[in-house]
Amino acid sequence: MIKKWIIRPATNRLLVLNEKEREKGVVCASSGNHAQGVACAASRLGIDAVIVMPTNCNLVKLDGVKKFGATALLEGTLSSEREDKALELVEKESRVLIHPYDDDYVRAGQGTIGIEILEDESNMDVIVVPIGGGGLISGISTIAKEIKPDITIVGVEPEGASRYGVSRKANKPMWLDSVDTIADGTRTDHANETSYKIIEKLVDELVSVSDSSIKNAMENVFSNVKIVAEPSSVMGIAAAFDKKFNIKPDDKVCLVITGGNNDISFLADVLINKI
């Protein structure tokens, strides 16, 4: 089963393609979750899809892309390498790029999470969101702040890829020299300019967590909440355990968990060793 937050952004974008664009097909560059969303939506709509993924991608996510019938190309380990390959296919084959975060239709699909959170709890005080490319938190914060302007939005990145934290300190979008984190869904080496502007305007706090804290959160969520969550998705929980953001005792806090596409051998190692 594919998570609805993954399928909505891709579907929202593919539904606005015209007939000629559908015939040419689509391409996206993604480490895995958006990749599966595009592959699934394209399969349902009868559109040919090529997915550019990193050479060190999560094999569960790669398998998911292939099961939906999309063509998977493995290219480099950095997000910029994947993006360059996707743009090459746009140029050579006239495919439509379905960007994982720098697209208003994609952000709108991601923003539906903010609507659901506040429909379920209109008095929510804090929403904590993992950050990869920045599209998810851009969509959620835009919608949530529109509905409830005084809500606090907290973004969480891995210490080994904190591109928006670095950018906030520099007051401009920054590139990282390298990325190193177990959170495979967040291995982005640069801050997207549009996402950066939205984050600077709407995200109240940006914090980062270590790989060790991410592993601890994975084990706790599995053992106590019975959710099999992937590393990228538990960064908010890791930040809560580490007391990285400010909340009051009576605050209502929503921790967004974004996926469960685990490498089973890695998950087993985390659970057995318990850090």
- Angstrom distance (rounded) from CA 63 to CA 41: 16
Are both 23 and 148 inside the same structural domain? Answer: no
Are both 119 and 209 inside the same structural domain? Answer: yes
Are both 142 and 204 inside the same structural domain? Answer: yes
Q: Where are the alpha helices (DSSP H) in 171-252?
A: 193-202, 211-220, 235-241
- Angstrom distance (rounded) from CA 136 to CA 9: 9
Q: Where are the alpha helices (DSSP H) in 121-229?
A: 135-147, 163-170, 193-202, 211-220
Whether residue 83 has pLDDT greater than 50: yes
Whether residue 60 has pLDDT greater than 90: no
Mean residue pLDDT of the chain comes to 91
Q: What pLDDT is stored for residue 189 in this prediction?
A: 87
Is residue 137 situated within a structural domain? yes
Q: 72, 97, 122 — which closes off a domain?
A: 97
Q: 45, 77, 97 — which closes off a domain?
A: 97
Does residue 184 or residue 238 have the better pLDDT? Answer: 238
pLDDT mean over 31-45: 90
Quick: pLDDT tens for 160-214. Answer: 999 999 999 999 999 999 899 999 888 888 999 999 999 999 999 999 999 999 9
Are both 111 and 185 inside the same structural domain? Answer: yes
pLDDT mean over 104-124: 94
Whether residue 32 has pLDDT greater than 90: no
Are 66 and 72 in contact, with CB atoms under 8 Å apart?
Answer: yes
Are 259 and 3 in contact, with CB atoms under 8 Å apart?
Answer: yes
3-class secondary structure, 274: coil
As given in the structure block, the two tokens for residue 42 are 């394209």
Quick: pLDDT tens for 250-266. Answer: 999 999 998 877 777 77
Is residue 85 situated within a structural domain? yes
Are both 84 and 176 inside the same structural domain? Answer: no
Share of the chain above pLDDT 70, in %: 97
pLDDT mean over 144-155: 97
Whether residue 149 has pLDDT greater than 80: yes
Host H or E run for residue 30: none
pLDDT mean over 232-247: 95
Whether residue 67 has pLDDT greater than 90: yes
- Angstrom distance (rounded) from CA 69 to CA 65: 7
Is residue 126 situated within a structural domain? yes
Are both 47 and 132 inside the same structural domain? Answer: no
CATH number, domain of 216, equals 3.40.50.1100
Confidence category of residue 148, pLDDT binned at 50, 70, 90? very high
Confidence category of residue 150, pLDDT binned at 50, 70, 90? very high
Are both 78 and 113 inside the same structural domain? Answer: no
As given in the structure block, the two tokens for residue 23 are 């015939």
Whether residue 275 has pLDDT greater than 70: no
Whether residue 73 has pLDDT greater than 60: yes
Whether residue 129 has pLDDT greater than 80: yes
pTM, full prediction: 0.87
Are both 144 and 259 inside the same structural domain? Answer: yes
How many distinct structural domains can be found in the chain? 2
Residue 220: give the domain boundaries. 107-273
Host H or E run for residue 32: none
Q: Is 50 left (phi over 0), alpha (psi -120 to 50) or beta?
A: beta
Confidence category of residue 268, pLDDT binned at 50, 70, 90? confident
Q: What pLDDT is stored for residue 3 in this prediction?
A: 52
Q: What pLDDT is stored for residue 10 in this prediction?
A: 92
pLDDT mean over 219-245: 93
Is residue 102 situated within a structural domain? no
Q: What pLDDT is stored for residue 274 in this prediction?
A: 62
Paired residues of 152 in beta bridges: 126
Q: What pLDDT is stored for residue 2 in this prediction?
A: 43
